[in-house]
Amino acid sequence: MESKLDGFILTVLGFTNVKIPNPDTALKELRSKFVDLEVQIMRADRVAGLEHLSLAAENAVRAIAQRRERSKSVAMETLLFTSGQRQISKALGRLGVTPQSKDIAVAIFSRKPLNVDETSSLVQSVLGGKRQDSVIDISSNKKIRELCKSYGISSEESDAAQLPSEKIDSVIKRLIVERSALLSSGT
């Protein structure tokens, strides 16, 4: 998936069955393979779909353009907005990849379009596993439970927020995106 964001092109890839003994080393290796690009990896089980990640990236780019950023890179700023946290340590606690993580979302910021197949192969050479963008989607009750637990969404909150005939995955995504938007507004 690619989208244009005020001077950046965001490419998002999902991977499943990854094996990352040391996430810091893996991220450094990815960044060394993608010189002049900004790369961020995060737990896909805690990303509420592509819209969640894309809106977080838009907020990150906007924060940098308006000089309201909390970090030194659009990749880290995106992690903050995706997590809905103001502090990097808390954002990493929520979305940081661990050796136990099996499903990973990779966000790559470039100035020019990337060859997605080549990019995917390079990422796969570092993370292993298999490319499967659907790991970013909310596609199971297990992921809904993980998202609710991670973002502090109670069943009472989701019930109260649910619109008539709205599916639960849509409610959860909306509540998480709202948390990210609150971070953007400084609230």
Q: List pLDDT tens digits, range 112-141.
A: 989 999 999 999 999 999 999 999 999 899
- Interhelix angle 88-95/74-83, rounded to 10 degrees, is 70
Q: How far apart are CA 123 and CA 51, in angstroms?
A: 22
Q: List pLDDT tens digits, range 9-18.
A: 999 999 999 9
- Whether the per-residue pLDDT at 91 is higher than 80: the answer is yes
Question: Which burial class, exposed, middle or buried, applies to 62 when counting CB atoms under 10 A from its CB (0-12, 13-18, 19+)?
Answer: middle
Output the pTM of the full model: 0.90
- Nearest alpha-carbon partner for 179 in 85, 70, 107: 85
Tell me the CA distances in angstroms from 122 to 72, 125, 132, 175, one per residue in order: 25, 5, 15, 34
Average pLDDT, the chain: 91
> Are the C-beta atoms of residues 30 and 67 closer than 8 Å to each other?
no
Residue 186 has a pLDDT of 57
- In this prediction, residue 184 has a pLDDT band, given cuts at 50, 70 and 90, of low
> Can you give the residue range of the structural domain that contains 121?
2-185
Return the CATH number at 88.
Answer: 3.30.2380.10
Percent of the chain with pLDDT over 90: 79
DSSP 8-class letter at 46: G
> Are the C-beta atoms of residues 82 and 52 closer than 8 Å to each other?
yes
Q: What is the count of structural domains for the chain? A: 1
